[in-house]
Amino acid sequence: MALTIEEVRHIAQLARLKLTPEEERRYTEQLSDILDYAGRLSKIDTTAIPPTASVLPLRAPLRPDAVRPCPPQELILRNAPSDQEGMFRVPPVLDT
């Protein structure tokens, strides 16, 4: 399974990663190798096999819908790269 450099650029767009031309070239090669290796999975007949999404017995535990204290706003904002008036500050999202 050989990936093209265009496919690598498309995946990087989906993953929100800016890659250098050197990274695009290297990942094209390395991801092709890894996918080629993973290709052996396609040879296994799994028509009657259910997927394993979790190794645990499926259950949906319930908890009381009780009010609990949460960390104060200032503590949460302390890690923000930029904040203003109690909010996370980001660059423009829409053209003005």
How big, in percent rounded to 5, are the helix, strand and coil portions of the chain?
A: 40, 5, 55
Q: Please give the helix or strand (H or E) that residue 26 lies within, else none.
A: helix 21-38
Q: What residues from 53 to 72 belong to the interface with other proteins (CB under 8 A)?
A: 53-56, 61, 63, 71
Q: Is 18 one of the binding residues for other proteins (CB under 8 A)?
A: yes
Residues 58, 67, 69, 79: which binds other proteins (CB under 8 A)? Answer: 79
Q: What residues from 34 to 53 belong to the interface with other proteins (CB under 8 A)?
A: 34-35, 37-42, 44, 46, 49-53
